[in-house]
Amino acid sequence: MTPGRLLVAACAGLAASAGVLWGASAAAWPAGANGSGLTGPALLALAGVAGVVAASGVVRRGLGVLLGLVGVLAAGVGVAGAGAAPGPWLAVGGGALLVVTGTFVMLREAALARFGARYSAAGSQAAQRDPDRAAWQDLDAGRDPTAGPTGDPR
């Protein structure tokens, strides 16, 4: 897969887990159990989409770890309230999806597309001078841009 498609897959996994966790918070729970604590993890998963797109390197890997840990906690809420109602099972599913997506982001960070990477300068190549800007820079430095390398006008 291309780096762009991998990034889209990670974002889709985060958006899907946010939707499932939000649905779990609104679904029916057994008596004595409550899924209202899943709204925060759902919002964090949704915010993780922006974080994964905007960040790179160690920050993106750290975000993957954080999302995976929050997924474990969300799944734990579902397991603790397990019963015949659909809410806990949605919590387990959404938490598991968040764990898988967070682990994917953490392990495959180098293969994911980077925001603005096409505008980054290559590490080993020197920056090329723009001829129009070079003339102005020569004038600013007190050099004649029309003079050749020996100083004589062309």
For the segment 86-122, what is each residue's pLDDT rounded down to a tens digit? 989 999 999 999 999 999 999 999 888 887 656 655 5
Q: What separation in angstroms does the CA of 28 have from each of 41, 90, 95, 97?
A: 18, 10, 17, 20
User: Does pLDDT of 149 surpass 80?
Assistant: no
Residue 140 lies in a domain: no
Q: Is residue 137 part of a domain?
A: no
The string over 104-130, giving b where at least 16 C-beta atoms fall within 10 Å of a residue's C-beta and e elsewhere, is bbbebbeebbbeeeeeeeeeeeeeeee
Please list the residues that pair with 153 across neighbouring strands: 147
Residue 145 resides in a domain: no
Domain count, the chain: 1
In a domain, 17, yes or no: yes
What pLDDT sits at residue 116? 66
Give residue 129's pLDDT: 63
Look at residue 122 and tell me if it is in a domain. Answer: no
Domain that holds residue 47: 3-28+35-115
- Over the stretch 48-88, which tens digit does the pLDDT of each residue have? 999 999 998 899 999 999 999 999 999 999 998 888 889 89
